[in-house]
């Protein structure tokens, strides 16, 4: 009986101390500074977790430098969110919408990005380690910027190969036509180079292309050891 009483007292003291350490946290919109979500929590990380559990729309949220390690963010709307410098190690980002998000300098090691949308996201300086071998669908949604000539030509050919009017690429490269993408969604996001264009079919298999892009961008793949991987590279023009 006495033991139960002391356990009750201890639990009450524990709850009291926890409540005393909780503060009021606000998640604000990065542009308007309007409050998106407000709650009492022990940290901003916990506040984000609460917001996610309540299906709060975090589009445009200011989450700079927040420790979000191992947080479950599956399916969260983070379009345009500012996550610069955030620690996202081990975070579950499956199906998360990160279109246009600022991910500069973020730690994305051991992150599950399956089904995530990274179109237009700023990945400058981000440290990326894929939890699983990434798919073509995932890589094609990521902004790749400037690439070596061989990879640039390969992606240009892949774009043309999937385009309903591939002949437009010839006219575009000769400065005799507009951009081939008028009423079509672009497949890859990279810096194209007109002077490299040569009509032809893609030459790299998907696996080799994925590995080559990751090596070029210094993106690591947790399940892959570079020591035993060989890549059949296309000729550099």
The answer on 94 and 170 residing in a single domain is: no
Co-location of 79 and 158 in the same domain: no
**Residue 62: beta bridge partners?**
82
CATH number at residue 115: 2.160.20.80
Model pLDDT, residue 177: 79
Q: Which tens digit of pLDDT belongs to each residue from 5-59?
A: 656 655 655 554 455 568 999 999 999 999 999 999 999 999 999 999 999 999 9
Q: What is the pLDDT of residues 158-184, one digit of tens each?
A: 999 999 999 999 999 998 778 898 888
Rounded to 5 degrees, φ, ψ at 87 are -100, 105
Does residue 81 sit in the same domain as residue 174? Answer: no
Q: How high is the pLDDT of residue 185?
A: 87
Q: Is residue 90 part of a domain?
A: yes
* Assigned domain for 2 exists: no
Q: Is residue 122 part of a domain?
A: yes
Number of domains in the chain: 2
Instruction: Note whether residue 110 is domain-resident.
Output: yes
- 193, part of any domain: yes
| Claim to verify: residue 125 and residue 165 sit in the same structural domain | no
Q: Are residues 104 and 155 in the same domain?
A: no
Q: Which domain holds residue 57?
A: 24-131
pLDDT tier for residue 237 given thresholds of 50, 70 and 90: very low
Predicted confidence (pLDDT) per residue in 89-103, tens digit: 999 999 999 999 999
pTM given for the model: 0.83
Higher pLDDT, 161 or 225: 161
| Nearest-angstrom CA–CA distance, 123 and 104 | 5
- Whether 62 is in a domain gets the answer yes
Q: Is the residue at 1 inside a domain?
A: no
Q: Which residue has the higher pLDDT, 19 or 207?
A: 207
- Domain boundary (131, 165, 195) is at 131
Q: List C-alpha distances in Å: 218 to 64, 107, 210.
A: 23, 13, 12
235 belongs to a structural domain: no
Per the structure block, which two tokens stand in for 125?
A: 């300086």
């Amino acid at each position: 009986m006495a033991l139960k009483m002391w356990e009750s007292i201890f639990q009450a003291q524990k709850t009291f101390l926890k409540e005393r350490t909780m503060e009021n946290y606000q998640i604000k919109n990065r542009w308007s500074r309007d409050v998106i979500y407000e709650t009492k929590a022990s940290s901003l990380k916990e506040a984000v977790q609460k917001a996610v559990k309540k299906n709060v729309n975090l589009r445009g949220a200011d989450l700079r430098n927040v420790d979000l390690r191992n947080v479950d963010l599956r399916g969260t709307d983070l379009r345009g969110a500012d996550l610069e410098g955030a620690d996202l190690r081990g975070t579950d980002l499956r199906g998360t919408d990160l279109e246009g998000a600022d991910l500069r300098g973020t730690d994305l090691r051991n992150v599950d990005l399956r089904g995530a949308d990274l179109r237009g996201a700023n990945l400058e300086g981000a440290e990326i380690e894929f939890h699983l071998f990434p798919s073509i669908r995932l890589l094609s949604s990521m902004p790749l910027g400037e690439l070596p000539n061989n990879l640039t030509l390969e992606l240009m050919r892949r774009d043309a190969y999937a385009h309903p009017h591939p002949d437009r690429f010839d006219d575009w490269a000769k400065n005799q036509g507009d951009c081939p993408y008028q009423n079509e969604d672009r497949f890859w996001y990279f810096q194209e180079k007109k002077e490299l264009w040569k009509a032809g079919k893609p030459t790299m298999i998907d696996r080799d292309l994925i590995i080559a892009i990751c090596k070029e961008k210094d993106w690591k793949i947790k399940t892959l050891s570079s020591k035993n991987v060989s890549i059949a590279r296309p000729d550099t023009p």
